[in-house]
């Protein structure tokens, strides 16, 4: 898992290929996002291409409210799509969250005002 | 299928990828995986291949669905377990309500019946037949009347605790209702059963502290030893019969059931039925015993006394059928019957013989009658029906039965007295509580018991006792009637001591209305 922050505050979270996102990892990631954001909320871009698994516990963690104002999940493969589907569909998401296969499209959506 | 931020709305740039070969071995693996999931093995997972293609997407999707279903299943199982526990608790609660007495926590009549049946079943397989004990507290009503129902309830709880402490865990203690309890003693010989009965008597002999009051209640116990094959109901009934026998013969004792008791109980029930018929058919008679003013010898009134010439059994002593009337709840009807007959007779005497001559009619009323909420109104209505002035009727209530100060009795007494109807305490000197009534002026007249009159003319001590009682009566500004006066010397002594009236064989035994009419005629003219 790695983090980068754009000058306008947009946070990029990249999961390494083949990673199994457990509840523990998810909690660490969300804590880090909260830490970066501080008092102000910013959009979050999650690169999840090649993620091997997203556990139920991790999906529950992502279902809790965090400091991100919007979340874009970016993947490529059918596997990414299915995993994103579960993250978005089975669990209620607290902030606007979408799946993209195009990172530029995701960034545009994240930076869209309102 | 999803909310406003769902996945389907933004997947149009998704590229399906290269085609999948129908011979792809992973498809067989998927089929097997689905079969296992369908068989309920939701813990199975299938590893996706490194190809990361659509077959792997299906594999990952199935893995996640299985995980979701497994979690939901587990969650459901936890909820089912919780609900089952709640249902079991509710069931347990219902059973307690249905089978246990809510006040004392003892078994109720229903559970007691089950336990007796079970014990009888065990006796069929070699265990000793059970014994059933029925016990009734002897002075519970007085506690309730004197200190109120809250104290009465606390007392019952303490009695329950004492009973529990006496028997073995395998035995059953039940509350049948009111102040009546029952015990089933299992697999024991008569010695142990009677030892338990004796220990209960002893345990209830010491005072019970309830709500800050020290209460003395004894118990009368009936014991019935079961015979193999006997029905549970008859076992309980027979123990109850024995208890009734104890209560009537010697309260505070233990009686063992004998078949003769059952016949006696049956006979009482029949007598009650006959009494009902006798009242309906006016087969009872009222006899009258004179009450005389000691100073002048004037016939001041009569006491009405019920008599019953039973068509088959002949003349019955009043105490025998009055006791049956009290035990069967007929006593109120009997009181009203006697009152009505006597007041009707008084009306005839007033019209034919007495005119306005001062003359009192005394009628005995049971304490149960006094406690009936409509009693005073019924008396007033009876006098109105026969056109008899209120001032010439005096109702007598026995001292020993007037225990405590229950509000209902006091209210009835007050209503009667404000209507000008007199209240007298009968058999004064045999009880212990009626000074309260005297002190608070709930009565008009005291009838001194015959036991205090016997030997009055020969025994100096007896004379002092009578003098003391008459001084008390005088201090409260009441009049007294001495009962059981048999000699002129007794009458003279009583007159000297300030007793106003006398009643007894000296002036005549109870006689029929006709005989009394003749006597009144002589007395007036």
Domain range annotation of chain B: 2-75, 109-257, 293-306+332-524
Residues B274-300 have pLDDT tens digits of 999 998 888 899 999 999 999 999 999
**Minimum mean pLDDT among B93-107, B126-140, B419-433: which range?**
B419-433
Mean pLDDT in residue range B106-126: 91
Residue B179 half-sphere exposure toward CB, CA atoms < 13 A: 24
Residues B32-74 have pLDDT tens digits of 999 999 999 999 999 999 888 999 999 999 999 999 999 999 9
Residue B10 confidence (pLDDT): 46
Q: Residue B429 corresponds to which tokens in the numbers above?
A: 């000197």
| B484 — pLDDT class (breaks 50, 70, 90) | very high
Q: How far apart are CA B196 and CA B189, in angstroms?
A: 11
Mean pLDDT in residue range B334-351: 95
Judged by a CB distance cut-off of 8 A, whether residue B461 touches chain A is no
Q: How far apart are CA A105 and CA A107, in angstroms?
A: 5
**How close B30 comes to chain A (CA, Å)?**
15
Please report which residue ranges of B50-148 form alpha helices under DSSP H.
54-99, 109-124, 140-147
Q: What is the 3-state secondary structure (H, E, C) of B303-349?
A: EEEEEEEECCCEEECHHHHHHHHHHHCCHHHHHHHHHHHHHHHHHHH
Judged by a CB distance cut-off of 8 A, whether residue B373 touches chain A is no
Residues contacting residue B354 through CB under 8 Å, at least 6 positions apart: B520, B524
Per the CB < 8 Å rule, is B57 touching A79? yes
B524 sits in which H/E element: helix B513-524
Q: How far apart are CA B123 and CA B117, in angstroms?
A: 10
Percent of chain A scoring above 70 in pLDDT: 97
Q: In B, residues 66-125, which contact A (CB 8 Å cutoff)?
A: 67-68, 71
Residues contacting residue B352 through CB under 8 Å, at least 6 positions apart: B517
Q: Residue B485 corresponds to which tokens in the numbers above?
A: 């006066």
Of A85, A92, A96, the CB nearest to B7: A85
- Predicted confidence (pLDDT) at residue B176 exceeds the cutoff of 50: yes
Residues A21-44 have pLDDT tens digits of 999 999 999 999 999 998 888 999
For residues B438 and B416, the model is more confident at B416
Mean pLDDT in residue range B330-356: 93
- Predicted confidence (pLDDT) at residue A18 exceeds the cutoff of 50: yes
| A108 — pLDDT class (breaks 50, 70, 90) | very high
Q: Residue B198 corresponds to which tokens in the numbers above?
A: 């004796």
Q: How far apart are CA B178 and CA B135, in angstroms?
A: 11
The edge-to-edge listing of strands for the beta sheet with B219-225 is B172-177, B180-185, B131-137, B219-225, B254-256
**Taking the CA atoms of chain B, what radius of gyration do you get in angstroms?**
39
Residue B104 confidence (pLDDT): 95
Percent of chain B scoring above 90 in pLDDT: 54
Given a contact cutoff of 8 angstroms between Cβ atoms, the answer to whether B283 and B169 are in contact is no
Question: Hey, is B447 helix, strand or coil?
Answer: strand
Judged by a CB distance cut-off of 8 A, whether residue B54 touches chain A is yes
Residue B443 half-sphere exposure toward CB, CA atoms < 13 A: 26
**How do strand B299-310 and strand B360-364 relate by DSSP bridges?**
parallel
Per the CB < 8 Å rule, is A52 touching B48? yes
Q: How far apart are CA B366 and CA B325, in angstroms?
A: 10
Q: How far apart are CA B11 and CA A5, in angstroms?
A: 26
Q: Which of B1, B2, B7, B9 is the mutation pick for testing A, counting most A CBs within 10 A?
A: B7
Check for a shared fold between B109-257 and B293-306+332-524.
Answer: no
Phi and psi at residue B402, to the nearest 5°:
-90, 60
For B69, nearest residue in chain A (alpha carbons): A56
Of A54, A77, A93, the CB nearest to B5: A93
Judged by a CB distance cut-off of 8 A, whether residue B314 touches chain A is no
| B488 — pLDDT class (breaks 50, 70, 90) | very high
Question: Cα separations (Å) of B62 from A62, A76, B11, B30?
Answer: 20, 19, 20, 9
- What string of DSSP letters covers A38-107? TTS---EEEE-TT--EE-HHHHHHHTS--S-S-EEEE--SHHHHHHHHHHHHTSPPSS-EEEES-HHHHH
Give one word for B164, left, alpha or beta, with left for phi > 0 and alpha for psi -120 to 50.
alpha
CA B72 to chain centre: 57
Closest CA to B523 of B353, B352, B288, B350: B353
Q: How far apart are CA B326 and CA B344, in angstroms?
A: 24
- Predicted confidence (pLDDT) at residue B401 exceeds the cutoff of 80: no
Please give the interface size between A and B, counted as residue pairs whose CB atoms are below 8 Å apart: 77
Of B3, B13, B58, the CB nearest to A101: B13
Mean pLDDT in residue range B151-168: 94
| B462 — pLDDT class (breaks 50, 70, 90) | confident
Mean pLDDT in residue range B216-223: 91
Residue B9 confidence (pLDDT): 46
Q: How far apart are CA B358 and CA B350, in angstroms?
A: 10
Closest CA to B182 of B101, B266, B267, B120: B101
Closest CA to B106 of B30, B169, B172, B58: B172
Residues contacting residue B387 through CB under 8 Å, at least 6 positions apart: B347
Percent of chain B scoring above 70 in pLDDT: 93
- For the CA atoms of B256, B259, B262, B264, the dihedral, rounded to the nearest 10 degrees, stands at -100
Closest CA to B308 of B332, B329, B337, B340: B337
Burial degree of B154 (CB within 10 A; 0-12, 13-18, 19+)? buried
Residues B416-430 have pLDDT tens digits of 888 899 988 887 776
Residue B15 confidence (pLDDT): 64
Q: How far apart are CA B349 and CA B520, in angstroms?
A: 8
Closest CA to B257 of B201, B194, B319: B194
Residue B96 confidence (pLDDT): 84
Judged by a CB distance cut-off of 8 A, whether residue B48 touches chain A is yes
Q: How far apart are CA A11 and CA A42, in angstroms?
A: 7
For residues A113 and B64, the model is more confident at B64
Per the CB < 8 Å rule, is B56 touching A78? yes
Burial degree of B159 (CB within 10 A; 0-12, 13-18, 19+)? buried
Q: How far apart are CA B163 and CA B482, in angstroms?
A: 45
What's chain B's average pLDDT?
Answer: 88
Per the CB < 8 Å rule, is B5 touching A96? yes
Mean pLDDT in residue range A70-92: 86
Per the CB < 8 Å rule, is A88 touching B2? yes
Residue B493 confidence (pLDDT): 93
Q: Where are the beta strands (DSSP E) in B163-218?
A: 172-177, 180-185, 208-210, 213-215
Phi and psi at residue B326, to the nearest 5°:
-70, -40
| B6 — pLDDT class (breaks 50, 70, 90) | very low
Mean pLDDT in residue range B187-208: 90
Domain at B293-306+332-524: CATH code? 3.20.20.450
**How do strand B393-398 and strand B422-428 relate by DSSP bridges?**
parallel
Question: Hey, is B254 helix, strand or coil?
Answer: strand
Residue B508 confidence (pLDDT): 94
Architecture of the domain whose range is B109-257:
2-Layer Sandwich (3.30)
Question: Cα separations (Å) of B218 from B159, B203, B370, B404?
Answer: 10, 9, 25, 16
């Amino acid at each position: 898992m790695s983090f980068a922050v754009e000058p306008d505050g947009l946070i990029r979270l990249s999961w390494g290929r083949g990673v199994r996102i457990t509840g523990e990892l998810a909690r660490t990631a969300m804590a880090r996002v909260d830490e970066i954001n501080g008092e102000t909320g910013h959009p979050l871009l999650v690169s999840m291409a090649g993620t091997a698994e997203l556990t139920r516990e991790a999906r529950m963690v992502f279902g809790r409210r965090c400091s991100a104002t919007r979340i874009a999940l970016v993947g490529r493969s059918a596997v990414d799509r299915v995993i994103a589907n579960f993250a978005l569909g089975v669990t209620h998401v607290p902030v606007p969250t979408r799946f993209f296969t195009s990172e530029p499209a995701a960034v545009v959506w994240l930076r869209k005002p309102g | 299928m999803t909310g406003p931020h769902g996945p389907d709305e933004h997947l149009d740039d998704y590229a399906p990828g290269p085609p999948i070969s129908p011979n792809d071995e992973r498809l067989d693996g998927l089929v097997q995986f689905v079969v296992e999931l369908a068989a309920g093995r939701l813990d199975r997972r299938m590893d996706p291949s490194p190809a990361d293609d659509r077959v792997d997407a299906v594999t990952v999707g199935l893995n996640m669905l299985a995980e979701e279903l497994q979690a939901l299943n587990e969650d459901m199982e936890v909820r089912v377990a919780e609900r089952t526990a709640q249902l079991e608790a509710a069931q347990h609660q219902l059973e307690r309500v249905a089978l246990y007495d809510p006040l004392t926590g003892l078994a109720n009549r229903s559970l007691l019946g089950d336990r007796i049946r079970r014990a009888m079943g065990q006796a069929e397989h070699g265990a000793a037949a059970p014994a059933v004990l029925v016990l009734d507290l002897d002075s519970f009503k007085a506690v309730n009347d004197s200190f109120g129902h809250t104290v009465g309830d606390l007392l019952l709880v303490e009695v329950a605790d004492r009973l529990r402490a006496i028997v073995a865990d395998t035995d059953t203690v039940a509350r049948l209702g009111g102040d009546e309890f029952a015990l089933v003693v299992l697999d024991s010989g008569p010695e142990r059963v009677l030892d338990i009965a004796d220990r209960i008597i002893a345990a209830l002999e010491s005072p019970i502290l309830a709500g800050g009051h020290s209460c003395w209640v004894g118990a009368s116990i009936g014991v019935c030893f079961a015979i193999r094959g006997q029905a549970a109901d008859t076992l309980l009934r027979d123990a109850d019969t024995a208890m009734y026998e104890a209560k009537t013969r010697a309260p505070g004792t233990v009686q063992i059931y004998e078949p003769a008791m059952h016949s006696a109980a049956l006979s009482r029930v029949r007598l009650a039925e006959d009494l009902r018929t006798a009242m309906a058919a006016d087969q009872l008679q009222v006899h009258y015993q004179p009450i005389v003013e000691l100073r002048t010898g004037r016939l001041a009134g009569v006491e009405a006394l019920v008599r019953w010439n039973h068509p088959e059994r002949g003349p019955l002593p009043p105490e025998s059928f009055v006791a049956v009337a009290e035990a069967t709840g007929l006593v109120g009807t009997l009181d009203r019957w006697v009152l009505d007959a006597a007041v009707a007779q008084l009306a005839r005497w007033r019209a034919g013989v007495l005119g306005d001559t001062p003359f009192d009619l005394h009628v005995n009323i049971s304490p149960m009658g006094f406690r009936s909420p409509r009693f005073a109104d019924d008396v007033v209505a009876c006098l109105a029906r026969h056109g008899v002035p209120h001032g010439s009727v005096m109702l007598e209530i026995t001292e020993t039965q007037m225990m405590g100060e229950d509000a209902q009795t006091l209210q009835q007494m007050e209503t009667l007295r404000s209507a000008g109807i007199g209240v007298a305490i009968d058999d004064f000197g045999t009880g212990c509580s009626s000074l309260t009534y005297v002190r608070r002026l709930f009565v008009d007249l005291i009838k001194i018991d015959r036991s205090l009159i016997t030997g009055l003319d020969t025994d100096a001590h007896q004379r002092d006792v009578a003098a003391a009682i008459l001084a008390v009566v005088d201090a409260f500004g009441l009049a007294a009637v001495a009962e059981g006066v048999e000699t002129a010397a007794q009458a003279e002594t009583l007159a000297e001591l300030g007793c106003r009236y006398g009643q007894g064989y000296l002036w005549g035994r109870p006689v029929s209305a006709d005989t009394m009419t003749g006597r009144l005629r002589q007395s007036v003219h």
